[in-house]
Amino acid sequence: MTDTSIYELLSKYELELLSKSDFRYIQETINEPNIFRILSNTDYEIRHSNFIAWLLDATETHGCGTLFSNDLVSKLARVDNPTAEWKVFREKYNIDLILTSPEETVVVENKTYSKDAPGQLTKYRELVESKREYKKPKFVYLNLKGEAPQDLKEREYWNLCSYSDLLFTLKNLCKEKKGEIDKNNSKTRILVEDYIDAVEVRNLKSGLINEKAKNLLATEPDLFMSIFNKFEAINDFEAINRLSHTQMRALKFIKLSSQFQRGKGFFRQDGLFRGAFNQALQKNNFHIYENKNTTYLGFISKDMLEIIPREKLPIRFSFRFFAEKKFLQFRAGIGPEDLRNSHYRRKLVDNLGQLQRTFGKDAVKARGTIHIGLYAKNIPFNPLSFDENDLENQIEELIKTFIVDDAIFIEDELQKVMLR
């Protein structure tokens, strides 16, 4: 495919998008030089810990002494003397940050996208408490949203701090002590402001540029779905030489700000939608078949499993997302035969004609032999139309509207065949 024909994949309407004021703002802002965005450093937890440690260490090259640590330590923990000159240790005993002074200790466990592992915080806390060198230890659980640890037993020991709190403190310092910071090292404030901007945009998604992207996506979800699908088909923007680099970066940013996923990656384990679907299905009395398959999400009602044990049940429901056609397919099918499910499976196979007539227009016409389709229903579905902040409620409404009644009907008909 030539560059010209790739460019011509975009319709006139899609190309007009590039002239909208919100798009131009994103294009200009995302292309401003920012060392953290250039290096993609804010995607990695260790990079955040390194930068925070650099600011907290009065002897470091920022040249500002305790200027940053005075306010940051106060924000992180309730210490008696935040103006102390703290010694900063990275990854000592695998702990992200340990700050020590002659009178006090602050221990920081830093999480961006991950959660605390079972027993992790207890191990760190008990280890620090057992060391005489650490005076009056305070424990801080730092994460993007200021959420409590997974470990319920540890919540009473760990102070919570969000990245929003951290950035608020840094913003105030850059504003109120700009002259002092610049006098000590003219590059330091630029680095701190770059860090604030990169974290707001990439990690917290709370900057004005994020709002502009969400506004565009909310206004034209179908249009963006079409554009993203076209770009995915031609290696994600790389071959579109007729679009400028700044336009491509802006479109990439909007895509990252969206819920866009093509079919194969839609139900990936770490995805927002997989979690939302899992929760909505479980709330509506479905059992989830957990596996590493990112193309399908399998499930069955818990009522059915009470009648026929899971290992003997040859059927399951599934979802599959078709990105280009913008629909979610709800399917019911028969799985491969084995010694445990053969009794019920053969009854279903012997009555496929009856089931096809029962399911009517939603019956699967082209059947396999190992995996046998029974029922398929397409539900209009554009991920870009969903609000990330209310995703679980919206998916639960979809399950109740399109799935629950159909699932009950299908299971009733299958039980009539399998149990007679």
Q: Tell me what pLDDT residue 11 has.
A: 65
For every one of its 420 residues, what pLDDT tens digit does the chain have, with 9 covering 90 and above? 344 344 455 666 667 777 788 888 888 888 888 888 777 777 678 889 999 999 999 999 999 999 999 999 988 888 888 888 899 999 999 999 999 999 999 999 999 878 888 899 999 999 999 999 999 999 999 998 899 998 999 999 999 999 999 999 999 999 999 999 999 998 999 999 999 988 888 777 777 888 888 888 888 888 888 777 777 655 544 445 556 777 777 888 887 777 666 555 678 765 678 888 998 999 999 999 877 666 789 999 999 999 999 999 999 999 998 877 788 999 999 999 999 999 999 999 999 999 989 998 888 876 677 889 999 999 998 887 887 778 889 999 999 999 999 999 999 999 999 998
Question: Please, which residues have CB within 8 angstroms of residue 115's CB and are 6 or more apart in sequence?
Answer: 149, 150
**Is 375 in contact with 363 (CB distance < 8 Å)?**
yes
- The label of the residue with tokens 């002494």 reads 65
Phi and psi, residue 289, nearest 5°: -85, 105
Look at residues 404, 54, 7 and name the one whose alpha carbon lies nearest to residue 227: 7
- The label of the residue with tokens 């939302």 reads 276
β-bridge pairing 137-143 and 105-111: parallel
Pseudo-torsion of CA 97, 98, 100, 106, nearest 10°? 90
108's enclosing H/E stretch is: strand 105-111
DSSP-based three-state secondary structure for 175: helix
CA distance 56 to 71: 10
- The label of the residue with tokens 């995302």 reads 30
CA distance 54 to 381: 46
Q: Domain segments of the chain: what residues? A: 41-204, 263-418
- The label of the residue with tokens 């699932």 reads 407
CA distance 204 to 310: 41
**Is 320 in contact with 328 (CB distance < 8 Å)?**
yes
Sequential DSSP letters for 339-357? TTTHHHHHHHHHTHHHHHH
Task: Specify the pTM.
Answer: 0.61
**Is 175 in contact with 144 (CB distance < 8 Å)?**
no
Look at residues 315, 273, 325, 313 and name the one whose alpha carbon lies nearest to residue 297: 273
Q: Which ranges of 298-341 does DSSP label H, i.e. alpha helix?
A: 302-307
CA distance 86 to 63: 15
Assign 3-class secondary structure to 236-293: CCCCCCCCCHHHHHHHHHHHHCCCCCCHHHCCCCCCHHHHHHHHHHHHCCEEEECCCC
Name the DSSP letter for residue 116.
P
Question: Please, which residues have CB within 8 angstroms of residue 396's CB and are 6 or more apart in sequence?
Answer: 279, 280, 283, 284
136's enclosing H/E stretch is: none
Name the DSSP letter for residue 80.
S
Q: How many CB atoms neighbour CB 258 within 10 A? A: 20
Look at residues 88, 90, 81, 89 and name the one whose alpha carbon lies nearest to residue 57: 88
**Is 211 in contact with 217 (CB distance < 8 Å)?**
no
CA angle, corner 357, sides to 351 and 361, nearest 5?
A: 135
CA distance 82 to 90: 19
